[in-house]
Amino acid sequence: MRKSVQKIQNLKNEGKKITVLTAYDYSTAKYVDECDIDIILVGDSLAQVVLGYENTTDVSMKEMQIFVSAVSRGVEKAMVVADMPFMSFQISKEEATKNACKFIKAGANAVKLEGSSPYLLDIIKHLTSIGIPVMGHLGFTPMSINTIGGHKIQGKDSQKTIDILNEAKKLQEAGCFSVVLEMVPKQSSKFIASKLDIPVIGIGAGVEVDGQVLVVDDILGKYDRLKPRFARQYCNLKDIMKDAINAYLNDVRNSNFPNDEESFILEQKEEEALESYR
Ligand code: KIV
């Protein structure tokens, strides 16, 4: 049984930190789930770290669906949240509903939406009313990179912090069960988290929020095109992978692979028959 919205809320109420990581494929999702994480996010960051696009806005709904299904097949215990990609919810409420339903059918338990415009609040109200839990996303919102003009810290003064709080309160009132807060000074995030009933999940938002999310490729050291200051790297998977790949290439080139255990062997009499064949 996957974790419910109520279980996630209980963690905040009990002062326990909520653990969140992204995952995009079956086996990574399975291992993350086996480590007892609370939420697995199939983030649109897969546009960059899996598909090699320039921006998260480049990934389509069709592409995201494949990864949401793969992750869902690997997860038993964690809540799976699917990130609604650019243009999957901006066109109309009907389209947004249809796309959110596609993710739920693909095995997700909830969806994530960036922003807090009145149009979006209406969609959030509708999705929650039909039983689709929604996670919000405020602060730096990668989909608005063209408006924001780069990876810029948000909520940098008291008024801007209060503005984000007011946006977060609207998300809470519209029915969001949690909100991701990205690239916000730690004092601002602490203030916002303390004024909300729903959990605040930080990314580049300091330690005094209700939980943390990072991109799994960043903690494993697999993606090397971007190294955000807020991401802590726990191992160097890129080097581990390249060492293994190089070892394999050497073995092939030196005829050290495959050995007999890795080969299928003829019976001796059949081998002898082949040797005597002219
Ligand atoms: O797409 C993503 O991975 C995200 C998280 C980093 C919050 O939105």
- Output the domain CATH number for residue 141: 3.20.20.60
Our mutation pick for probing the ligand 1 site, out of 44, 48, 103, 140, counting the most ligand atoms within 8 A of Cβ, is 44
Assess whether 51 and 153 both reside in one domain: yes
- 188 and 266 in a single domain? The answer is no
Are 180 and 250 members of one domain? no
How remote is the CA of residue 90 from the centroid of ligand 1, in Å? Answer: 18
Q: Specify the ligand 1 atom closest to the Cα of 214.
A: 6
**Distance from residue 228's CA to the centre of ligand 1 (Å):** 12
Q: Tell whether 77 and 159 lie within a shared domain.
A: yes
CA of 180 to the centre of ligand 1 (A): 9
Pairing of strands 18-22, 79-83: unpaired
The confidence score (pLDDT) of residue 201 equals: 98
- Pocket residues: Cβ below 6 A from ligand 1: 22, 41, 43-45, 83, 180, 203, 213, 215
Kindly state whether residues 82 and 159 are assigned to the same domain.
Answer: yes
- pLDDT of 146 reads 87
Asked whether residue 158 falls in the same domain as residue 255, the answer is no
Q: Whose CA is nearest to atom 4 of ligand 1?
A: 43
Does one domain contain both 114 and 166?
yes
Question: Which atom in ligand 1 lies closest to the alpha carbon of residue 44?
Answer: 1
pLDDT in tens, 142-176: 998 888 888 899 999 999 999 999 999 999 999 99
Same domain flag for 166 and 47: yes
Statement to judge: residues 120 and 222 lie in one domain: yes
Residues in a beta bridge with 212: 19, 202
pLDDT, residue 183, reads: 97
What is the pLDDT, as a whole number, of residue 53? 97
Pick the residue whose CA is nearest to atom 5 on ligand 1.
Answer: 43
Is the domain of 119 the same as that of 246? no
Distances in Å between the alpha carbon of 211 and those of 12, 73, 196, 208?
8, 25, 13, 8
Closest residue by Cα to atom 3, ligand 1, is 43
Q: Which residues of the chain are under the pLDDT cut of 50?
A: none
Catalytic residues: 182
In angstroms, the Cα distances linking 137 to 35, 156, 240, 271 are: 25, 17, 33, 66
Three-state secondary structure call for residue 180: strand
Handedness of CA 156, 139, 200, 236 (dihedral sign): negative
Domain that holds residue 248: 240-276
Same domain, 80 and 167: yes
> Based on the domain organization, do 153 and 85 belong to the same domain?
yes
User: Domains in the chain: how many in total?
Assistant: 2
